[in-house]
Chain A
Amino acid sequence: MSEGHSTYTPKTGLGRWFDARMPLPRLVYDSFIAYPVPRNLNYMWTFGGILSIMLVSQILTGIVLAMHYTSDTALAFDSVEKIMRDVNSGWLLRYLHSNGASFFFVAVYIHIFRGLFYGSYKAPRELLWILGCIIYLLMMATGFMGYVLPWGQMSFWGATVITGFFSAIPLVGNWIQELLLGGFAVDNPTLNRFFALHYLLPFMIAGVVVLHVWALHVVGQSNPTGIEVKSKTDTVAFTPYATIKDAFGMIVFLFFFAYFVFYLPNYLGHPDNYTVANPLKTPAHIVPEWYFLPFYAILRAITFNIGPINSKLGGVLCMFGAIAMLFLVPWLDTSKVRSAVYRPWYKLFFWLFVADAILLGWLGSQPAEGSYVFMAQMATLFYFAFFLVVMPVLGLIETPRRLPNSITEAVLEKKNKGAGGHPAGAVSAPETKG
């Protein structure tokens, strides 16, 4: 928890001079050195740091790629290939950027699921959670527009399909679609504006990240027990404790990232995007990037009219509704207990939800035919039921397990339990578990 007052004392004259005029070192000290974090955070809590390095990595590689990229339909595809072939280290920067987008989403999904599991969205962290949802939305917009830039077949047809969502809106839909495209179909004006926006949005993400971190530092981090920090023994200083743990988490994450960049750089992409865009020929089977697949499955699952809403609008509404659910989570969850650790039923449903999301993702990659459609409809039903039924109802009827009184108590309980399993005599040995 934020302590409300700063413990920063400049040691040098220059430090005092600076502090009196612009206390930036004080801000850094209070936010990243003295800032108290719960002592029981596990590795799931390193993903915030991992996400910030992914954002920085995407911005840096993106800026240098923009130095070589040309946003013109006649030249875009070849300019990307020039980066891959002729620009010094160009292949590396481009693969870092394209795979970086995927790994950014890997990290953000783990981060979101961690929040859902440990109830990180509950009061007083609602605003923190909503800022996170906004970042996620901005990431999706950025990822989508970035995928259009290489101007391959999937770029073109992905852009056509996704801007087509807006044509489902009654009355003004077609006008909005033409406004987005700058024409009647995806073409040069679309590519140019997508490039401009793709360059702009990451900086907006960075801005919302600052707000997200600010909100975090006001309310403090949640933790695996979900119990608020009560005393000083519940926390440790951010530096060195959290810094070094975050650093280790980042390196492990970068290891997986590098494995894909160097050995499977096209695994997460689609072969069709190595064919230049052709407005007269749709690929046999359009799929979005993997991180949109669950939503894509939901979109296609609505094959029937719902009263006055036709299936097209219904699909689009369900897809946006699936994202909107996240914004409502702080108020849909009625439980008094935060963490799933103490909620056996919620825990079960949480893992079913994870399985459901992965199943939706897989269905999104399959053709929308035969038994897949029915499965997607069932999975969509469960997706919404998790938020609209399970979350509110379970909070009212579930009997949670006994909660420890404090973080310190929880930690010591775990330690004693761990030591109790050892032969006698080991109990007094210092616990050095990583």
Chain B
Amino acid sequence: MSATDIHDPNRRDFLYIATGMAGVVGAGAVAWPFIDQMQPDASTLALASVEVDVSSLQPGSSLVVKWRGKPVVVRNRTDKEMKDGAAVSLNDLKDPIARNANLPADAPATDANRTTPGKEAWMVMVQVCTHLGCIPLGQEGDFGGWFCPCHGSVYDTAGRIRKGPAPENMAIPVFKFISDTKILIG
């Protein structure tokens, strides 16, 4: 049986195009739930805050808590570390942006902008190398800050990238001091 002659090509074409378009729209709508389900679910998004008691942290010591599945380091810096951090000129930084979720996205990466006002001794930082996600070791490397053993990225005492393949300063999460000894992260 050969294809049949249709007398009204315009109407036929319109019908075929409309049907085809509807099919494409339907297929797209069906695809969405399959992609949507991969996004973090409601319970994952809800577990987004953790309270840390830092009363026992003397200058020069740190502790690590897990937040959103990642280690967050809380470090009570020594005077020397603070001085070293503040002495760095912005021009020497590989990444001049503060990467501090508590500040505007374009804030410069000064030592003060890496901490919170009045609590400049305290570094609260996601301790994950911005290169490929390893955990850098604390108080190591050329700048006395952090050193990532995976690919040799070196961070200073304010967690700013100074040498190596990592592109950005380590991220500062949303946090605040809810009292002198308690920090709420997230």
When A and B assemble into the complex, do they touch directly, with CB atoms less than 8 Å apart? Answer: yes
A residues near B, CB below 8 A?
Answer: 39, 60, 64, 67-68, 82, 85-90, 92-93, 232-233, 235-237
Q: B13 at the A/B interface (Cβ < 8 Å)?
A: no
B residues near A, CB below 8 A?
Answer: 1, 32-34, 36-39, 41-44
Distance, CA A288 to CA B42, complexed state (A): 33
- Is the CB–CB distance between A68 and B42 below 8 Å? no
- Is the CB–CB distance between A233 and B1 below 8 Å? yes
Given A82-B43, A85-B42, A86-B41, also A92-B1 (CB < 8 A): no
- Is the CB–CB distance between B41 and A89 below 8 Å? no
Chain A residues, CB < 8 A from B34? 60, 64, 93
Interchain nearest-CB distance for B17 vs A (Å): 15
Best-buried of B37, B39, B43 by chain A (most CB within 10 Å): B37
Interchain nearest-CB distance for B110 vs A (Å): 39
Can you list 25 contacts pairing A with B, beta carbon distance less than 8 Å? Answer: A60-B34, A64-B34, A64-B37, A67-B37, A67-B38, A68-B37, A68-B41, A82-B41, A85-B42, A86-B42, A86-B43, A87-B41, A87-B42, A88-B36, A88-B37, A88-B41, A89-B32, A89-B33, A90-B37, A90-B41, A93-B33, A93-B34, A233-B1, A235-B1, A237-B1
Interchain nearest-CB distance for A251 vs B (Å): 9
Chain B residues, CB < 8 A from A60? 34
Distance, CA A350 to CA B42, complexed state (A): 52
Best-buried of B33, B38, B39, B42 by chain A (most CB within 10 Å): B33
Which residue of B1, B36, B41, B43 contacts A39 across the interface (Cβ within 8 Å)?
Answer: B1
Chain B residues, CB < 8 A from A85? 42
Distance, CA A21 to CA B41, complexed state (A): 46
Chain B residues, CB < 8 A from A82? 41, 43
Interchain nearest-CB distance for B13 vs A (Å): 14
Distance, CA A237 to CA B1, complexed state (A): 7
Q: Which label, helix, strand, loop or mixed, suits the secondary structure of the B interface?
A: helix
Distance, CA A306 to CA B144, complexed state (A): 88
Chain A residues, CB < 8 A from B41? 68, 82, 86-88, 90
Closest residue of chain B to A57 (Cβ to Cβ) is B30
Closest residue of chain A to B39 (Cβ to Cβ) is A88
Distance, CA A429 to CA B121, complexed state (A): 93
Chain A residues, CB < 8 A from B32? 89
- Is the CB–CB distance between B1 and A236 below 8 Å? yes
Chain A residues, CB < 8 A from B39? 88
Which residue of A39, A89, A235 contacts B37 across the interface (Cβ within 8 Å)?
Answer: A89
Chain B residues, CB < 8 A from A68? 37, 41
Closest residue of chain A to B31 (Cβ to Cβ) is A60
Distance, CA A235 to CA B2, complexed state (A): 10
Best-buried of A60, A64, A82 by chain B (most CB within 10 Å): A64
Best-buried of B34, B39, B43 by chain A (most CB within 10 Å): B34
Chain B residues, CB < 8 A from A236? 1
Known: A88-B33, A88-B37. 18 other contacts (CB 8 A): A64-B34, A64-B38, A67-B37, A68-B41, A82-B41, A86-B42, A86-B43, A86-B44, A87-B42, A88-B39, A89-B32, A89-B37, A90-B37, A92-B33, A93-B33, A93-B34, A235-B1, A236-B1
Best-buried of A39, A87, A233 by chain B (most CB within 10 Å): A87
Distance, CA A90 to CA B34, complexed state (A): 9
Chain B residues, CB < 8 A from A67? 37-38
Chain B residues, CB < 8 A from A232? 1
Distance, CA A236 to CA B44, complexed state (A): 55
Interchain nearest-CB distance for A407 vs B (Å): 11
Which residue of A89, A233, A237 contacts B36 across the interface (Cβ within 8 Å)?
Answer: A89
Chain B residues, CB < 8 A from A86? 41-44
Interchain nearest-CB distance for B148 vs A (Å): 31
Chain A residues, CB < 8 A from B36? 88-89
Q: Which 3 pairs across A and B sit closest by C-beta, in order of nearness?
A: A89-B33, A86-B42, A86-B41
